[in-house]
């Protein structure tokens, strides 16, 4: 009986793994084709006519390297900025009975319910009026806030799980609240901060719609916007697009697999608490 169960389980796993990987294989195959087409004549990922040409072209003939650096700069700064904001806010919400604290948390929760368009449109209109267009500053602020709710929620759940007596011991030992935060709480928050940071990074890395509105000079493009420019309604450079898609996805996938366990425990922790 147990053996049968194992076999059935393995069949299910294999089936869904194939399901999960199929599009990945497809895009790899397209990235190796060099005749600017997206059709596959066979199911092989690597055929006789395959090559790495598209990847090479990507780095030598397009602005891909610029976009790559842009994305790295933007994502990293957004992460640092966003996590700083989130960590401080989450700690405050966890430790202090602040007026407007619960309201703030509710606001954060309800931001999840906003349809994307609800902010996209005002951004578009407001940016036009205030000239924040074509500037990383606008992008920085907006990106930081799109991931803030989740990050604050995660970090707050983490801080809640640290007994208050730890800071109290530090305070009695001679530290101010601020010192207690930096010398005791932060050092033990490494894993939680790491997880949240990586999530924040990935959100910024993969974001398209807002960047498309804000950035206009192709030198400033981040990867998602740059990728989109390979596409045109009447002429898509499929090979380049696929190669770029592969390269853009790899860090995202890597980070994700590293974080998956931690992310989920954060989600379930937060959800059980309320």
Which 196-255 residues touch other proteins, going by CB under 8 A? 205-206, 208-209, 212-213, 216-218, 220, 224, 227-229, 231-238, 241, 245, 248-249, 252-253, 255
User: Residue 270 Cβ, how far from other proteins at the closest point, in Å?
Assistant: 8
User: Residue 51 Cβ, how far from other proteins at the closest point, in Å?
Assistant: 18
Q: Are 109 and 149 in contact (CB under 8 A)?
A: yes
Enter the tokens of residue 162. 């640290």
User: Residue 226 Cβ, how far from other proteins at the closest point, in Å?
Assistant: 11
Comparing CB distances to other proteins, the nearer of 11 and 56 is 11
Query: How far apart are the two ends of the chain, measured CA to CA in Å?
Result: 40
Q: Which of 47, 51, 66, 179 binds other proteins (CB under 8 A)?
A: 179
Q: Which of 4, 23, 48, 60 binds other proteins (CB under 8 A)?
A: 23
Q: Which of 44, 56, 65, 186 binds other proteins (CB under 8 A)?
A: 186
Map the footprint of other proteins across residues 50-109, applying CB under 8 A: 73, 76-77, 80-81, 84-89, 91-93, 95-101, 104, 107-108
For the chain, where are the alpha helices, taking DSSP H only?
2-32, 53-61, 64-95, 101-111, 116-130, 136-160, 165-173, 177-180, 186-188, 190-205, 209-214, 223-229, 238-273
User: Residue 86 Cβ, how far from other proteins at the closest point, in Å?
Assistant: 6
Q: Which of 172, 196, 239, 240 binds other proteins (CB under 8 A)?
A: 172
- Reference 136, options 214, 210, 227, 248; nearest CA is 214
- Reference 92, options 142, 152, 145; nearest CA is 152
Q: Which of 46, 52, 59, 182 binds other proteins (CB under 8 A)?
A: 182
CA gap 60, 66 in Å, rounded: 11
Neighbours of 261 (CB within 10 A): 10
Comparing CB distances to other proteins, the nearer of 51 and 133 is 133
Comparing CB distances to other proteins, the nearer of 51 and 209 is 209
Q: Which of 44, 49, 110, 161 binds other proteins (CB under 8 A)?
A: 110
Burial of 221 (C-beta count, 10 Å sphere; 0-12/13-18/19+) = buried
Q: Which of 44, 56, 65, 118 binds other proteins (CB under 8 A)?
A: 118
User: Residue 39 Cβ, how far from other proteins at the closest point, in Å?
Assistant: 3
- Reference 72, options 249, 223, 214; nearest CA is 223
187 scored as a contact of other proteins (CB under 8 A): yes
What value, to the nearest 5°, has the Cα angle with vertex 163 and ends 158 and 168? Answer: 125
């Amino acid at each position: 009986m147990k053996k049968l169960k194992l076999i059935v389980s393995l069949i299910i796993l294999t089936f869904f793994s194939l399901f999960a990987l199929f599009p990945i294989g497809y895009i790899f195959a397209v990235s190796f084709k060099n005749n600017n087409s997206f059709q596959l004549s066979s199911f092989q990922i690597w055929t006789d006519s395959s090559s790495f040409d598209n990847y090479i072209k990507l780095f030598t003939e397009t602005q891909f390297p610029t976009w790559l650096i842009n994305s790295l700069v933007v994502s990293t700064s957004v992460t640092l900025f966003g996590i700083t904001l989130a960590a401080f806010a989450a700690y405050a919400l966890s430790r202090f009975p602040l007026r407007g604290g619960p309201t703030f948390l509710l606001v954060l929760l309800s931001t999840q319910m906003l349809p994307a368009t609800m902010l996209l449109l005002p951004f578009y209109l407001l940016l036009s009026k205030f000239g924040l267009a074509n500037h990383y500053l606008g992008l920085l602020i907006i990106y930081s806030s799109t991931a803030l709710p989740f990050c604050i929620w995660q970090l707050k759940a983490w801080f809640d799980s640290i007994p208050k007596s730890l800071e109290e011991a530090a305070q009695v030992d001679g530290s101010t609240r601020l010192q207690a935060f930096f010398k005791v709480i932060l050092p033990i928050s490494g894993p939680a901060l790491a997880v949240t940071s990586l999530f924040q990074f990935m959100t910024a890395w993969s974001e398209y719609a807002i960047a498309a509105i804000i950035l206009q000079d192709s030198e400033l493009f981040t990867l998602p916007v740059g990728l989109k420019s390979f596409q045109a309604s009447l002429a898509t450079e499929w090979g380049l697009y696929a190669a770029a898609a592969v390269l853009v996805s790899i860090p995202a996938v890597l980070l994700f697999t590293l974080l998956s366990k931690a992310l989920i425990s954060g989600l379930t922790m937060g959800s059980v608490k309320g």
